[in-house]
């Protein structure tokens, strides 16, 4: 199983004092440095989310990582013309389309592909025309998986936030939902990824879900990195992931 490391919250810390990395030579910490440290720890890809309100990662960060970090780049974005134009210039390896509202602290749920299929279609086609693979960040719901397949997305990323926030029998229910969605996606020839709220404590409870190809994890790794450094934090997550049989 592959590990994509999201370095958004490294930028969150920087933004507490500096608007962009160009504001001052003192601007730190650097999402690019974090990406390179994640690579040293065994990351398979880097995820960056440039939001409409630019609350953490900036375009400059994304272009620097794309140009200088040798790992594949997964570019998360809302379905807006502004972000699409950036993605078409950036040409990341993958684009993950996510829901986005200004009020949320972090992405709070999956993209409603069923309801927004018509607005998503031209965005996906534009990205495909530039050779960019598309992932759709969705809740583990059968209808959303089928709609993603209809839009010819190469990947889905199953939202694991409900799993992470559930305990006991409720968590078992969430695992069942994830399993059914993953089985369907796999049967349709879609690469199945997962992410949101995953951490060092809950990860192994996800391992009964089959066919997962990549996990995208950010906040927990960045939080751990404050104690042990980014490279070691990624190494520790990779070690946990080695127990997944698929």
Ranges of each domain in the chain: 2-241
CA pair distance 8, 191, nearest whole angstrom: 23
pLDDT digits (tens, 9 = 90+) for 77-107: 999 999 999 999 999 999 999 998 655 445 5
Active site residues: 49, 76, 196
pLDDT at 206: 97
3-state secondary structure of 13: helix
- Is the CB of residue 193 less than 8 Å from the CB of residue 212? yes
What does the longest C-alpha to C-alpha distance in the chain come to? 51
pLDDT at 160: 98
CA pair distance 96, 191, nearest whole angstrom: 12
Q: What is the pTM of this model?
A: 0.93
pLDDT at 17: 87
Helices and strands: H and E segment counts in the chain = 10, 8
Residue with tokens 């695992």: 175
pLDDT at 56: 92
**What are the residues whose beta carbons fall under 8 Å from the beta carbon of 136, sequence distance 6 or more?**
96, 97, 111, 113, 120, 144, 148, 151, 153, 155, 156, 157
The CATH number that domain 2-241 falls under is 3.20.20.70
Q: Please give the sequence-ordered ranges of beta strands (E in DSSP) within 131-188, or none if there are none.
A: 133-138, 155-159
CB atoms within 10 A of CB 3: 20
pLDDT along the chain (246 residues), means of 10: 97 85 78 98 98 92 97 97 98 96 61 97 98 98 98 98 95 98 98 98 97 98 98 98 92
CA pair distance 67, 18, nearest whole angstrom: 22
């Amino acid at each position: 199983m592959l590990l994509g490391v999201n370095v958004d919250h490294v930028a969150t810390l920087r933004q507490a004092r500096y608007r962009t990395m160009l504001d001052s030579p003192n601007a730190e910490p650097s999402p690019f440095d974090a990406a390179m440290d994640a690579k040293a720890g065994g990351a398979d890809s880097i995820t960056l989310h440039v939001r409409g309100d630019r609350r953490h990662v900036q375009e400059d960060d994304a272009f620097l990582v794309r140009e200088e970090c040798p790992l594949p780049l997964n570019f998360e974005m809302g379905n807006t013309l502004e972000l699409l134009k950036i993605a078409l210039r950036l040409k990341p390896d993958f684009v993950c389309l996510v829901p986005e509202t200004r009020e949320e602290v972090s992405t709070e749920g999956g993209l409603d592909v069923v309801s927004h299929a018509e607005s998503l279609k031209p965005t996906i086609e534009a990205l495909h025309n530039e050779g960019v693979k598309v992932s759709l960040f969705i809740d583990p719901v059968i209808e959303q998986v089928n709609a993603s397949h209809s839009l010819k997305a190469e990947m889905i990323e199953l939202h694991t936030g409900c799993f992470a926030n559930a305990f006991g029998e409720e968590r078992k229910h969430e695992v069942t939902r994830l399993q059914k969605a993953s089985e369907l996606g796999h049967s349709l020839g879609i690469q199945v990824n997962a992410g949101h709220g995953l951490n060092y404590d809950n990860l192994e409870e996800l391992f009964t879900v089959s066919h997962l190809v990549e996990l995208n994890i950010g906040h927990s790794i960045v939080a751990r990195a404050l104690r042990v450094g980014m490279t070691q934090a990624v190494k520790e997550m990779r070690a946990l992931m080695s127990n997944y049989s698929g």
